[in-house]
Amino acid sequence: MVDDALEGARFERVLAIGAHPDDAEYFAGGTLARLADAGAEVALVVCTDGARGGRGIDDVARVRAGEQARAAQIVGFREQVNLRRPDGELANDDRLRAELALAVRRERPELVLAHDPRTLWNVYGGRAHPGHSDHRAAGQAALDALYPRAASPNFYAEQLAEPGVEPWYPREVWLFDTAQPDLHIDVSATFARKLDALRAHVSQNRGDGLLRGARALGLAEPFARLVLRKEKTRADG
């Protein structure tokens, strides 16, 4: 189905979780821009510093952080956080799960967008493309952070001492970077902005590679949709 989820529901708070700078924009930039345009407060968590993504660049992590900041303004993110874990070494460990659970509890998103941890490979233009280990780790950690951790006061109880931080469970999760989509969001109205956001990642766009990839994905961004709850109520843990 195309666009049904955005036509039929309003999301006031959205959290995107990407493994690297540019992942959220590449896989879901058009959808995130549509959500921001519709009035949602959209926040981004980037798990790694992206330091293995450059060639012939000094201080790659710093460069990519600046690129991410510029892209975030284009998409319309209200806030972005980089956990700065080493690129290529991301693991679904308890530290990462705790950091993501805290982000969920702070942002209280109704919708979470994250990598599909099942994606060992995908097929683009008739060719198989192996999935990235950091993507799978970020996706699995996101799901593990959502349940049972962020929803239960019995996990990371020290986080609840921070004002405004409380157990939280979103209404839906949309998994991008997926080989098993069951939802496609029409991004024709925001596709040009998605490309502009990808252009901001100058160090990663050698030979317009990001742009070509985004154009190949097309004007309907694919997700695996998980409906977790129907009501707009806070989890009671």
The domain limits of the chain are 4-227
pLDDT per position as a tens digit, 75-105:
999 999 999 999 999 999 999 999 999 999 9
Task: Output the pLDDT for position 8.
Answer: 61
Q: How many CA atoms lie within 13 A of 204 on its CB side?
A: 30
Is the pLDDT at 183 greater than 90? The verdict is: yes
Q: How many CA atoms lie within 13 A of 130 on its CB side?
A: 3
Structure tokens at 217: 């994905």
pLDDT per position as a tens digit, 133-156:
999 999 999 999 999 999 999 999
Asked if 76 contacts 24 with a C-beta cutoff of 8 angstroms, the reply is no
Predicted TM-score (pTM) of the model is: 0.92
Does a cis peptide bond (omega within 30 degrees of 0) precede residue 148?
A: yes
CATH number for the domain formed by residue range(s) 4-227: 3.40.50.10320
Q: Provide the H-helix boundaries in the chain.
A: 4-8, 23-37, 60-75, 94-107, 133-144, 191-200, 209-217
Strand-by-strand arrangement of the 13-18 sheet? 79-85, 41-48, 13-18, 111-115, 172-176, 220-227, 183-186
Average pLDDT over residues 53-57: 78
Is the pLDDT at 28 greater than 70? The verdict is: yes
At residue 47's C-alpha, the angle toward residues 134 and 31, to 5°, is 90
Phi, psi of 3 (to 5 degrees): 75, -5
Residue linked to tokens 């997700």: 223
Is the pLDDT at 236 greater than 60? The verdict is: no
